[in-house]
Structure 1
Amino acid sequence: MDRGLTAVSATDEAITGWIAAQPRNRLDAAICRLTRAADHSALWVVVAGILAVRRGAGRKAAARGLLAIALSSATANGMLKPLLPRRRPAAAELPAYRTITDPPTSSSFPSGHAASAAAFATAVALENPRVAPAVVPLAAAVAYSRVHVGVHWASDVLAGAAIGSGVALATQRWWPVRTSDEARARPVDTVPELPQGDGLVIIANPFSGPPDYDVSDEIAEALPAARLLRVTADSRVDDQLRETIAELGGWVKAVGVAGGDGTVAGAASVADELHLPLVVVPAGTLNHFARDVGVYDLQEAVDASQAGEAVAVDLGLVEAHPGSGDDPENPEVIRTRYFLNTASVGSYPELVRLREKWQPRWGKWPAFAAALVTVLRRSERVRVRFHDEWKDVWFIFVGNGPYHPRGMVPAWRPTLDSGLLDVRWLRADVRFSRLRVVAALILGALGHSRVYHQAEVTELDVELAVPSMLATDGEVVEEAGRYTFRVAKDPVPVYRRDEERWTGRDRPFQG
């Protein structure tokens, strides 16, 4: 052990001595400014702000990067430095022009700057590999700068970088990285091509998404041959589409929609009923469905519809049974609703509302964890019967298709046409069930908790002791005493661009 430490110290001194022996050059001043810019992670906060300007991978990379910095800084500076004291290099070992004023006096081991730099770079590379070639060299330069200006030994920097990278990689236990921009689905080669939108009836919802943005004008420019409708405050999306399609008759080849998940669900129901393919333009706040399908903007929808490229996508159905059906004078009326992503019974709708409220400020996973703790503290248990057994639960989650990751908070779908429902619930009949859930979340071990359960089924019938609210795709839509969930008989073809075929093509419209 002593020999190993002696060898490390000798190597550190040799590296510091080699740097000290290098002639003065213009990089010395730049490196001093760089190391100062990284004080208190100010440099990484600025980079995160730049990445967060654009929604999507950039914003997620920024959020993960800042989280990784917070955790790695707490580990390196808050835990390890007090436990492992080590003197810093003597100022006399380097020329004055390479040193910084007011050098730190805390323990040299490990380097907090290197830990934060490596944590941020690793986290960003996980979420957005395209910006890694810019961020990783910057992080390496910051780490090297700590040796160059004489405030750390090389081994301090290597240890700090290892800690930072390890912490960033460990965040995947609580916050899994999405491995693909789009879910798998089998191609459908029978959909018609829609040149300039010919044969397409598309409805745009100006009430979705940002209040100062309406995608209708862009759609009219990109798809001039399409019949464009706009959602009005006093009409339903599906009713407007059915009425227009009935008027146009055989000219209609496809249904289109621009809006959030609620608007898309209305259009999808019409596409399913009339056996028409669906064009989706993401124009809502979160656009979960479009993101899973792999359509990220108007351009991709235009490309796919003009080329006749589509994939098969399952739609979820839920039937609400408000009465018992035993009274012949008051027969039971079954109401059927479509859902694209998820449906839920119990306190889950409130959880979704809080998560979406806090997500823009904190990021999805911290917001979800905070919302779950808040909801579990406030909520009341629900008595339900499913799988031929009465159970006390906090909520039941039903996904339209298996969600990933298993045994954790559902995040995305790896496939779109499995024909299965993903059912998850939290038991309320286990002692200290709420505390168990919180502890499991903190440890990243929700899938191993006795409170958490999951199953994949083709159909689910849920009876409630007391009628409860139903939420579909994050919106509370119904109250009933019994619900039946299933997957629609036939998947709907949804236009999606074949990225391999489109690589390098000239595109007719840039939105």
Structure 2
Amino acid sequence: MFKFLRAASKRLGTADREFVRWSATFPRTAADPALKRLTMLADHSKLWFALAVALAARKGSTRRAGLRGVAAIAASSAVTNLLAKPLLPRRRPATDLLPEYRRLVAPPGSSSFPSGHAASAAAFTTAVCMESPAAGAVLAPLAAAVAYSRVHTGVHWPTDIAVGATIGIGVGLATRRWWPVRPSAPGLARPSEHVAKLTEGNGLAVLVNASSGNPGHDPSAELTDLWPAAKVLRLDADGDLVEQLHRNLDEAGDKIRALAVAGGDGTVAAAASAAAVRGLPLAVIPVGTLNHFARDLGVWSPQDAARALAAGSAVHVDLGTVRVDGRPQRWFLNTASLGGYPDMVRLREKWEHRWGKWPAAAAALVRVLAKAEPITVRIDGLPRKIWLLFVGSGGYQPKGFAPSWRPNLHDGVLDIRYIRADLSLSRIRFTVAALTGALFNSRTYVQEERDRLHVEVLSKPVALACDGEVSATGRAFRFAARDEALRVYRPEDPR
């Protein structure tokens, strides 16, 4: 085996030298100084960090691409510089193999194997391509040019480049283990047969929360242009939105055939609650900051909602309900939670625009668990101590500590996740498992799917948060999945 490896290494070394000598015969062109400038620009990944900033300037897939690219660069640099280079040292090419005008003034003195520049270029481009294939296709030639520039300037052998690029591609793809790629397709849902077709807005009530989304931007004028005959409802943000909405709809009588809502997830959840009780189809107009439900639905703009309303195109979606201490049930559209989960979401959303969603989620998790107090409960009769409990309306992905989207909007289940506090060193064990991608091998993490859940709190009363808003405090919580409880407008060809 060792003889075979030595022979293979010798053959690769010979091929490396032959390639460099062949490269040295290239005629002098304007590409020579350009490649020198490019290779220096890529030092310490300056080029890629600048491109990441440019990508992050736009919301959506390009921003996620830039943030994922930075994470991939950090991981690939650690692998190449902290592991591979010290373990597999190699001399760089002799300076006399290339003409002087192609050499760097201050060539690096570290190990030649593998190429950190090639690893960073490949890692960044691979990560960007996973979130935005169009942006990745534009960057791929630049990444290839950076990789080749290291051979052209005489600081790396071709095999250094090949291995470095392989490491970078592998690291870029591996980011999916901790940071899953959100699918572009919306969640599955069963089409509804009969909903009102509304073009001018006759029979449409529109609930507008002007405080959602961009500060100072009131979407009312745009919505009036889309539906001039619609009845616009403005509610007191400090009051109970559901009660106010029911009161306004009662006053309108039978004139209202559909309800539309423009706001964040909390406002959308209030509208969904009223629409479900009254049997009205709901149109979601994404103007909020996060628009989780609208993204799951496949409605990306007010124009998408307008197309669906005009065509009378809608789907059935599930909702969740919860009764607190026997009081009337509350509906939730996305999630409900007990314990520190609302604080974790709040911190994640505060930090994610700077760090990216998954690094922010990890930091928020550590912060919340460090300060959390365990809750003594019975979960369907099973005694437990937990740090926090998450209940999703429908099965969420990914199956880890930061559920983000639903591939199916009518699966008839609750997604139940909690962190146990009745095991030794549970917080540390959970955090390590989450950060290393080994969560499902940890006894501290429980994830189940069922249609009902009963939680009895045996310690002091705790607060319940529904769709990010604290809604009630109590000791007995009965959750249930309501199959296809709501009809929601969605274009026939959601993007």
- Please say whether Structure 1 and Structure 2 have the same fold, judged by a TM-score greater than 0.5: yes
Distance in 2 of aligned mates of 1:64 and 1:169: 10
Which of the residues 346, 363, 376 maps onto 1:370?
A: 363
Instruction: Give the conservation status (yes or no) of the 8 Å contact 1:282–1:297.
Output: yes
Q: 1:143 aligns with which of 125, 143, 147?
A: 147
TM-superposition CA deviations, 1:202-247 (whole Å, max 9, x none): 1111111232322222212222232222333454433443344334
- Output one character per residue of 1:430-466: Cα deviation in whole Å (capped at 9) or x when no partner: 1111111022012201111011111111111111112
Aligned equivalents of 2:56 and 2:185: distance in 1? 18
- Aligned partner letter, 1:282: P
2:445 corresponds to: 452
Q: Which moved more, 1:490-499 or 1:158-167?
A: 490-499
- 1:406 corresponds in structure 2 to 399
**Does the CA contact (< 8 Å) of 2:395 and 2:449 recur in 1?**
yes
Question: Deviation string for 1:54-86 (max 9, x for gaps)?
Answer: 212111111111000001011112222122211
The question of whether the paired residues in 2 share the 8 Å contact of 1:204 and 1:216 is answered with yes
Structure 2 counterpart of 1:191, which letter? V
Alignment of 1:418-437 (within 5 A): 418-437=411-430
Give the aligned partner of residue 85 of structure 2: 81
User: Residue 346 of structure 2: which of 340, 349, 353 is its match?
Assistant: 353
> How many angstroms apart in 2 are the aligned matches of 1:273 and 1:416?
19
**Which residue in the other structure is 1:201 paired with?**
205
1:161 to 156, 160, 165: 165
CA deviations over 1:266-293 (Å, ceiling 9, x no partner): 1111110111111111122211111111
1:408 and 1:447 in contact (8 A); partners too: no
Aligned-residue Cα RMSD (Å) equals 1.7
Match runs of 1:85-484 below 5 Å: 85-321=89-325, 334-407=327-400, 409-465=402-458, 466-484=460-478
SS in 2 for 1:203: strand
Inter-partner Cα distance in structure 2 for 1:55 and 1:305: 26
Bigger CA drift: 465-474 or 487-496?
487-496
CA-to-aligned-CA distance 1:80-123 (integer Å, 9 cap, x gap): 21222111112221222322221211111111110001000111
* 1:325 corresponding residue in structure 2: none
State which of 52, 71, 96 in structure 2 corresponds to 1:48.
52
CA, structure 1 residues 311+130, in 2 after alignment: closer, same or farther (shift >3 Å)?
farther
Distance 1:27 1:225 in 2: 63
Aligned residues of 1:181 and 1:291 also touching (Cα < 8 A): no
> 3-state SS of the aligned residue for 2:114?
coil
Counterpart AA for 1:124:
V
Conserved? CA contact 2:410–2:483, under 8 Å: no
Instruction: Report the Cα distance in structure 1 between the residues aligned to 2:411 and 2:13, rounded to whole angstroms.
Output: 58
- Give the residue type in structure 1 aligned to 2:452: E
Partner Cα separation in structure 2 for residue 415 and residue 341 of structure 1 = 12
Please tell me the residue identity of whatever aligns with 1:180.
S
Q: Assess, with a 3 A threshold, how the Cα gap between structure 1 residues 153 and 307 changes in structure 2: closer, same or farther.
A: same
With over 3 angstroms needed to count, the CA separation of the structure-2 counterparts of 1:36 and 1:499, relative to structure 1, is farther
Q: Is the 8 A contact 1:407 1:448 kept in 2?
A: no
Distance in 1 of aligned mates of 2:67 and 2:315: 32
Structure 1 partner of 2:70? 66
Instruction: Please state if 1:28 is matched with 2:21.
Output: no
Change beyond 3 A, Cα 1:432–1:233: closer
Distance 2:401 2:176 in 1: 11
Structure 1 partner of 2:481: 487
Shift of 1:250: 3.2
Partner secondary structure for residue 208 of structure 1: coil
Q: What is the rounded CA distance, in whole Å, between the counterparts of 1:407 and 1:237 in structure 2?
A: 32
Q: Which residue of 2 aligns with 1:327?
A: none
SS of the equivalent of 2:170 reads helix
| Aligned AA (2:380) | H
Question: Does the aligned pair in 2 maintain the 1:315–1:492 contact within 8 Å?
Answer: yes
| Partner SS for 2:58 | coil
- The residue type paired with residue 10 of structure 1 is T
2:216 alignment partner, SS class: coil
In the TM superposition, residue 475 of structure 1 has moved relative to its aligned partner by 2.2
* Alignment check: 8 A CA contact 1:197 1:223 kept: yes
TM-fit CA distance, 1:357: 1.8
SS in 1 for 2:171: helix
Q: Tell me, in whole angstroms, the C-alpha distance in 2 between the residues paired with 1:234 and 1:79.
A: 56
Q: What SS does the aligned partner of 1:477 have?
A: strand
In 2: Cα distance, 1:316 partner to 1:233 partner = 23
Q: Sort the Cα spacing of 1:135 and 1:231 in 2 relative to 1 into closer, same or farther, 3 A.
A: farther
Where does the alignment leave 5 or more consecutive residues of structure 2 unmatched? none
Structure 2 distance, partners of 1:98, 1:489, is: 68
Alpha-carbon displacement from aligned partner over 1:317-339 (angstroms, at most 9, x marks no partner): 11111xxxxxxxxxxx6132221
